[in-house]
Structure 1
């Protein structure tokens, strides 16, 4: 089972691929969508959960989603057809960093997609390239809640403490130094962080238990156990997540 398929499986019960509760997602979208007829773009949309919620709630919206996983885009298309919003949704199979559009967007979403662009500042540059004047960026980023120890770093696969994350004040300093102004933010709660991790590891473990004869069952069960151990014994108390609404001066 490849990485993309495992990611889809892990988010079976938590389609928003970030530690945010449904009410937090709804509140962020309400705050971001000021007129209800915006043009949206999500870079790294996966199965399109953010875009589909926005389109279902606002019949005048149009949206584009970009992702390198064709199966995730197929899932997004099926759900969009079921919701009756497919005519307002464009889906693009390509790496987010390679996407170009003939028009700008009122709202760009980049949620935990820094790896696709090579870090925070390249992500901000990519978003800026797609934003219309006066547009808004919805950015989701992890950060260190406390200085990481070796267990936290090991739990994240040996991440370098000075590269992958900043503490929250430093993260905001870097963003504002790049010319962005925060107009709203949501800091994920302990409940949201825990719910997300339990959902991910639980979905994998449940699938393995339900498909014991599948050739990938042992691999999926092992990954569920490794993820749970890395989280509980490693980064649980070290990593936070913030979702920011950002604008630039015209």
Structure 2
């Protein structure tokens, strides 16, 4: 294999595409399965690991994952087949906003508000929650993961985050829950990612490419890869670390 063909691997150290630990995932799946969903819809699913675990815990349920990343979807199909779930789940490469989606008993939207609305934040969160309210069946559940400020960011921290980061992009946790209530939900469970989950996610997100870059410092893609890795690490460590949080809200639609 030539150096040009030897490309960096992608997210092999991540089980979930977000700051989610095994214990928290187990608790989420157990609670969601108690509602006995027969249909599961995963918006912006990636490889759909949490959806697959719900299907394992809810015999007979069927699932559908929606995403635009074909590589992630292929990983999801492979994982589903290996766990005997291929006949109960489909992974579809499509937009969640351009296609009519059937309501489901359980709707997962894990840090994927952008898949449901093209609005600027924080209106993005509001529009995504209203879309989710339409996509869940009466008596069903929505698992909504989204960002919130753990504390107000300083201007220096905002400058170190993503381009044009603003203090009004996110609410605090109470404000995020208020938006869910205003969209027609009651919060059955509220929990937030801790620092260990964040550090495991951020390290796992970069690890494959960091190891690859150390072994291929003169690869044609090395300069671009190095810039992305260094930029993302700076965004995290100098910008949103201990400032941006992720909340996992288990929501019940109001009848």
TM-score (norm 1): 0.89
> Which of 185, 190, 195 is residue 190 of structure 2 equivalent to?
185
Q: How many residue pairs align between the two structures?
A: 242
Report the Cα distance in structure 2 between the residues aligned to 1:40 and 1:213, rounded to whole angstroms.
Answer: 45
> Which of 159, 164, 169 is residue 174 of structure 2 equivalent to?
169
- Alignment check: 8 A CA contact 1:66 1:99 kept: no
In structure 2, the CA distance between the partners of 1:137 and 1:35, relative to structure 1 (3 Å rule), is closer
Q: Secondary structure at the match of 2:87?
A: helix
User: Alpha-carbon deviation of 1:30?
Assistant: 0.9
Q: Secondary structure at the match of 1:99?
A: coil
Query: What do residues 48-84 of structure 1 show as CA deviations (whole Å, max 9, x unaligned)?
Result: 1111222234332210000011221111111211111
Report the Cα distance in structure 2 between the residues aligned to 1:188 and 1:155, rounded to whole angstroms.
Answer: 21
- Alignment check: 8 A CA contact 2:133 2:184 kept: no
Q: Secondary structure at the match of 1:98?
A: coil
What does 1:186-225 align with in structure 2 at a 5 Å threshold? 186-212=191-217, 214-225=219-230
The alignment yields a C-alpha RMSD, in angstroms, of 2.0
In structure 2, the CA distance between the partners of 1:59 and 1:213, relative to structure 1 (3 Å rule), is farther
- Alignment check: 8 A CA contact 1:20 1:192 kept: yes
Which residue does the alignment assign to 1:131?
A: 136
Which residue does the alignment assign to 1:25?
A: 25
User: Alpha-carbon deviation of 1:38?
Assistant: 2.4
Report the Cα distance in structure 1 between the residues aligned to 2:99 and 2:48, rounded to whole angstroms.
Answer: 16
Which residue does the alignment assign to 1:160?
A: 166
Task: Name structure 1 gaps, 5 residues minimum.
Answer: none
What does 1:1-250 align with in structure 2 at a 5 Å threshold? 9=10, 11-101=11-101, 103-116=102-115, 117=117, 118=119, 119-157=124-162, 158-162=164-168, 164-212=169-217, 214-250=219-255
Report the Cα distance in structure 1 between the residues aligned to 2:103 and 2:210, rounded to whole angstroms.
Answer: 42
In structure 2, the CA distance between the partners of 1:211 and 1:48, relative to structure 1 (3 Å rule), is farther
- Alignment check: 8 A CA contact 2:37 2:105 kept: no
In structure 2, the CA distance between the partners of 1:36 and 1:133, relative to structure 1 (3 Å rule), is closer
User: Alpha-carbon deviation of 1:218?
Assistant: 2.5
Task: Name structure 2 gaps, 5 residues minimum.
Answer: 1-6
In structure 2, the CA distance between the partners of 1:129 and 1:207, relative to structure 1 (3 Å rule), is farther
- Alignment check: 8 A CA contact 1:208 1:218 kept: no
Report the Cα distance in structure 2 between the residues aligned to 1:207 and 1:189, rounded to whole angstroms.
Answer: 28
In structure 2, the CA distance between the partners of 1:96 and 1:155, relative to structure 1 (3 Å rule), is farther
Between Structure 1 and Structure 2, which shows a larger proportion of helix residues?
Answer: 1
In structure 2, the CA distance between the partners of 1:15 and 1:217, relative to structure 1 (3 Å rule), is farther
User: Alpha-carbon deviation of 1:132?
Assistant: 0.8
TM-score (norm 2): 0.87
- Alignment check: 8 A CA contact 1:15 1:47 kept: no
Range with greater deviation from structure 2 (237-246 or 124-133): 124-133
